[in-house]
A = this chain, B = another copy of it.
């Protein structure tokens, strides 16, 4: 079976390709998909997959990730990338000054379209917003702590194993190759 990952990020494509070893042959295409402005990453990923399938007519995966800080009512949510580019982690920490509820989660939604149907699988990781630590990762990784360490303090392999994206991809793999 062949699956195309729709992404501009070749690194992400490779990560997914390793993930599906033995289940599917993964290629990637850098197709520009219009993204909807919506609070739900599941809905965003689904609409991207719908659009992409109309363009390339082959089984494919699209994904989307959000970062939700509970005390900030879900901010920055699906706009995590824009918020990272504008106010950054410094801005997030300013907003969290003096706030004791530090809970936050990442959510990745992976949408799989095969022409018959579009299925969406999501994965979450719950953690806490902390002062930056660690040299790895990117984006919010240094300020997101999971079980005592930030994502930026983990090796890429470890992060890929426990991440929100990994959890979503696992669910998709179980769907494609049940009981494997």
Q: Which residues of chain A have a CB within 8 Å of any CB of chain B?
A: 34-39, 44, 47, 72-79, 82-83, 85-87, 91, 94-95, 97
Contact = CB atoms under 8 A, between A and B. Distances in A.
20 contacts: A34-B47, A35-B38, A36-B37, A37-B37, A37-B44, A37-B78, A37-B79, A72-B87, A73-B87, A74-B86, A75-B82, A75-B83, A75-B86, A76-B86, A79-B79, A87-B95, A91-B95, A94-B95, A94-B97, A95-B95
Q: How many copies does the complex hold?
A: 2
Contact of A36 (B35, B39, B75): B35
A54 B37 CA distance: 19
Given A35-B36, A37-B35, A38-B35, A73 B95 contact: no
A-B interface, 9 closest residue pairs, ranked by CB to CB distance from nearest: A75-B86, A35-B37, A73-B86, A37-B37, A34-B36, A79-B79, A75-B87, A91-B95, A72-B87
